[in-house]
């Protein structure tokens, strides 16, 4: 796999094309941190297609779900660890596909 | 809303719309609920529409459905990093009065389908998320809860057309959690060009005919999956999907895979100068027959992606969704007309219809394939695509080497890719057996 530079900037540009109705203050994805982040949780910083997961200054995984496309990958990958609480946004909120 | 409906349908994708339309058309009272701003706004597909499945529901859909191009040419490409080996099937027979396959833009198509559902008499409510099921003392499903005020809504049956990542059936314990090796994560971008450019780049006659390309090999970087590139009227849909288990194992980023695909020397010229207007991600059920959950119970029935109805080999899903939605609806109509409770036993009608149709026959035919592909991942998605390209390059490069020596070299490449002829033969045997 070849390396591509500067993922976050490019991701913003990509997601900028999408339409969202963000439900301010009511994130639909939450992390319940355990003593240590599981390998499954850590891998989300790479495989989340919207780049919602990142590592904070303490080395812990954090999530900002504003750009979430509601695919459910993180929910399934972390189902066994119990670190992720995932629900659909309230009706009408979240990603709104133009072309799908 | 204390009304009592014949049926509540959860979700407004192809399966939910097929079910709602069919039931409403037959005079049943139908409530359909979708969490999107409009029906289609949460829905994602490649997308190819298979006419046959829709024709059985709306015979004259071609009159006003938003269709992009009908498919006259199917290409299959096997990629390595710098080459593609392709096979094309193109026939003028596909330029027919009632074409067989179309490319579509799902958000627009679903909006159209939903309009038909409403015209047929169903009540369609959007911007509403179904949060749970309501059961009676005996455990039968009798209604739903939503995130809107107003308490539960009741019906004789709840049709769960909530998609692959639907949570209602799972959280009610009606279907098991998805396994990471039973779903693929697909990412896709929609790239806009002028209609003329699409036509020229794909050797098309006009704005009606189109090309679809399915792609194997280095596009998935060794993971189990495929890429695709479909021509729409003024845009190109390009994407790649791989098993979530493989993503979790390799830690590869899906968008990097897509970017690499777009930069491939065989693909880049097709996209040159295009403007990307949407980036989407979605799960695809790929567990096949063995991953199909229990489909019916007292007062509930599962259709479409929620039931894992995808034929991954043939890239068919929306047709299975529409067909399962229609068949569930037909069973429910028959039971309502006979005024029989819609129990698990009574829904044998639906299960039998599925078993008799191409849906279950095809799902069953390929039941061993997901496992075989996974177990032989490195050979099928890594070694062979590379060997194929390298062997063909040896063949086509004219460099003073005698043909017999070239043939020997080509065979050597194939053998070396798997270590021995025995390994190659075993791979082929396994694949043939899983296909049978």
Q: Read off the CATH number of the domain in which B15 is found.
A: 3.50.50.60
Whether B296 and B274 share a structural domain? no
In a domain, A14, yes or no: yes
Six-digit token string for B27: 């005079």
Partners of A2 on chain B (C-beta within 8 Å) are: 260
- Domain match, B33 and B157 both: yes
Question: Is residue B129 one of the residues assigned to a domain?
Answer: yes
| Phi, psi dihedral angles at A58 (to 5 degrees) | -90, 5
B274 and B305 fall within a common domain: no
Chosen domain end from B229, B262, B285: B285
**Whether the Cβ atoms of residue B185 and residue A46 lie closer than 8 Å to each other:** no
Residue A27, token pair as written in the block: 């994130």
Strand pairing of A94-96 and A19-21?
Answer: antiparallel
Q: Which of A92, A96, A99 to mutate to test the interface with B (most CBs of B within 10 A)?
A: A99
Query: Which chain B residue is nearest to residue A14, measuring alpha carbons?
Result: B279
Residues in B closer than 8 angstroms to A100, CB to CB, are 40-41, 43-45, 47, 105-108, 110, 280
Out of A73, A76, A100, the one facing B280 most closely (by C-beta) is A100
From chain A, the residues in CB contact with B110 under 8 A are: 100
Asked if the structure places residue B83 within a domain, the reply is no
Q: Which residue of A has its CA nearest to B242?
A: A47
Sign of CA dihedral B155, B157, B162, B167: positive
Set of chain B residues whose Cβ sits within 8 Å of the Cβ of A6: none
Same structural domain for residues B187 and B328? no
Q: Which two three-digit tokens encode residue B353?
A: 């219809």
* Distance (Å) of CA B412 to CA B249, B365, B409: 32, 34, 5
**Among the partner residues A11, A76, A88, nearest to B255 by beta-carbon distance:** A11
Give B92-95's long-range contacts (Cβ < 8 A, gap of 24+): B94/B70, B94/B209, B95/B70, B95/B205, B95/B209
Confirm whether A61 is domain-assigned. Answer: yes
- Asked if residue B46 and residue B170 are part of one domain, the reply reads yes
Interface of A with B in 76-95 (CB under 8 A): 76-77, 79, 87-92, 94-95
In a domain, A87, yes or no: yes
- On whether any CB of chain B is under 8 Å from the CB of A46, the answer is yes
Domain that holds residue B385: 376-435
Mean pLDDT by 10 residues, chain B (436 residues): 85 98 98 96 97 98 98 97 96 97 97 98 97 97 94 97 97 95 98 97 96 97 97 98 98 97 98 97 97 98 98 95 98 97 98 98 95 93 95 96 96 95 94 89
Do B272 and B321 lie in one domain? The reply is: no
What secondary structure letter does DSSP report for B299? Answer: T
**Is the pTM value of this prediction over 0.80?**
yes
How big is the A-B interface in CB pairs under 8 Å?
141
Kind and range of the H or E run holding B72: strand B69-79
Residue A89 domain-assigned (yes or no): yes
* Domain-located, residue A63: yes
Residue B409: how many CB atoms within 10 A of its CB?
Answer: 14
- Cβ atoms of residues B24 and B329 within 8 Å: no
User: What is the predicted pLDDT for the residue at A10?
Assistant: 84
Assigned domain for B402 exists:
yes
Contact call for B279 and A79, based on CB within 8 A? no
Give counts: helices (H), strands (E), chain B. Answer: 16, 17
- Tens digit of pLDDT at every position of chain A (100 positions): 434 444 555 898 899 999 999 999 999 999 999 999 999 999 999 999 999 999 999 999 999 999 999 999 999 999 999 999 999 999 999 999 999 9
Parallel, antiparallel, or unpaired for β B69-79 and B209-217? parallel
- What Cα–Cα distance (Å) separates residue A26 from each residue in A22, B103, B109, B149, B420? 9, 37, 31, 18, 58
Q: Do residues B305 and B415 share a domain?
A: no
Spatial separation of the C-alpha atoms in residues A56 and A35, rounded to whole Å? 15
pLDDT computed for residue B436 by the predictor: 81
Is residue B193 in some structural domain?
yes
Whether A80 maps to a domain, the answer reads: yes
Cβ(B133)–Cβ(B145) below 8 Å:
yes
Confirm whether B128 is domain-assigned. Answer: yes
- Tell me which residue in B126, B164, B278 faces A97 most closely, judged by beta carbons: B278
Is there a domain that residue B341 lies in? Answer: yes
**Going by DSSP bridges, is the β-strand pair B225-231/B209-217 parallel, antiparallel, or unpaired?**
antiparallel
Tally of domains within chain B: 3
Other CB atoms within a 10 A radius of the CB of residue A7 amount to: 16
Q: Do residues B424 and B418 touch, judged by C-beta distance below 8 A?
A: yes
3-state helix, strand and coil shares in percent for chain B, rounded to the nearest 5? 40, 25, 35
Q: Does residue A2 lie within any of the structural domains? A: no
Residues B264 and B205 in one domain: yes
Residues B172 and B215 in one domain: no
Tokens of B345: 């036993």
Domain count, chain A: 1
The shortest C-alpha distance from A51 to chain B (Å) reads 9
Domain of residue A77, CATH code: 3.30.70.20
- Which among B367, B391, B415 is the end of a domain? B367
| Boundary of a domain, candidates B267, B285, B303 | B285
Q: Are residues B40 and B123 in the same domain?
A: yes
The C-alpha angle with vertex B272 and arms to B271 and B278, in degrees rounded to 5, equals: 50
Residue A1 lies in a domain: no
Q: Which of B179, B221, B237 sits opposite A1 (nearest CB)?
A: B221
Q: Check whether residue B422 and residue B342 sit in a common domain.
A: no
Predicted confidence at residue A2, as pLDDT, reads: 39
Q: What is the mean pLDDT of chain A?
A: 91
Task: Supply the range of the domain harboring residue A57.
Answer: 7-96
CB contact under 8 A, B278 and A50: no
Residue B232 · residue B210 · CB < 8 Å: yes
């Amino acid at each position: 796999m070849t390396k591509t530079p500067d993922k976050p900037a490019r991701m913003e540009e990509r997601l900028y094309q999408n339409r969202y109705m963000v439900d301010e203050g009511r994130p639909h994805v939450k992390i319940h941190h355990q003593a240590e982040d599981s390998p499954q949780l850590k891998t989300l910083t790479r495989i989340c297609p919207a780049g919602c997961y990142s590592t904070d200054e303490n080395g812990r995984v954090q999530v900002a779900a504003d750009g979430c496309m509601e695919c459910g990958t993180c929910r399934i990958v972390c189902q066994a660890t119990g670190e992720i609480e995932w629900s659909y946004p309230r009706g009408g909120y979240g990603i709104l596909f133009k072309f799908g | 809303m204390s009304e009592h409906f014949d049926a509540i349908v959860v979700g407004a994708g192809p399966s939910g719309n097929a079910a709602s339309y069919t039931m409403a058309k037959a005079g049943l009272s139908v409530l359909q609920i979708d969490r999107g701003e409009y029906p289609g706004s949460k829905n994602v597909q490649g997308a190819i529409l298979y006419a046959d499945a829709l024709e059985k529901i709306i015979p004259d859909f071609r009159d006003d459905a938003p269709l992009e191009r009908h498919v006259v040419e199917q290409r299959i490409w096997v990629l390595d990093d710098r080459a593609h080996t392709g096979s094309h099937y193109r026939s003028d027979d596909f330029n027919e009065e009632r074409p067989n396959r179309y490319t579509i833009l799902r958000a627009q198509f679903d909006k159209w389908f939903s309009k038909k559902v409403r015209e047929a008499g169903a009540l369609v409510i959007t911007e509403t998320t179904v949060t749970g099921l309501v059961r009676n003392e005996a455990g039968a499903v009798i209604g739903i809860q939503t995130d809107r005020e107003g308490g539960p809504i009741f019906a004789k049956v709840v049709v769960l057309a909530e998609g692959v990542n639907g949570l209602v059936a799972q959280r009610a314990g009606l279907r098991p959690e998805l396994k990471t090796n039973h779903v693929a994560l697909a990412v896709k971008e929609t790239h806009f060009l002028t209609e003329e450019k699409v036509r020229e780049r794909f050797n098309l006659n006009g704005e009606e005919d189109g090309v679809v390309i399915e792609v194997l090999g280095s596009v998935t970087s060794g993971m189990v999956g495929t890429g695709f590139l479909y021509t729409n009227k003024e845009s190109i849909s390009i994407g790649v999907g791989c098993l979530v288990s493989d993503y979790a194992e390799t830690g590869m980023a899906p968008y990097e895979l897509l970017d690499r695909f777009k930069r491939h020397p065989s693909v880049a010229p097709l996209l040159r100068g295009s403007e990307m207007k949407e980036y989407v991600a979605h799960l695809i059920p790929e567990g096949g027959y063995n991953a199909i959950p229990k489909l019916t119970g007292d007062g509930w029935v599962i259709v479409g992606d929620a039931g894992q109805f995808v034929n991954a080999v043939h890239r068919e899903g929306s047709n299975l969704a529409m067909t399962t939605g229609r068949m569930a609806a037909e069973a429910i109509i028959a039971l309502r007309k006979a005024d029989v409770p819609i129990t698990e036993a009574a829904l044998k009608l639906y299960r039998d219809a599925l078993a008799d149709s191409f849906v279950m026959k095809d799902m069953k035919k390929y039941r061993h394939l997901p496992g075989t592909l996974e177990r032989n991942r490195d050979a099928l998605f890594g070694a062979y695509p590379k060997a194929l390209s390298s062997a063909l390059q040896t063949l086509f490069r004219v460099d003073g080497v005698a043909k017999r020596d070239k043939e020997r070299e080509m065979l050597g490449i194939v053998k070396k890719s798997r270590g021995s002829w025995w390994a190659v033969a075993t791979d082929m045997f396994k694949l043939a057996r899983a296909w049978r």
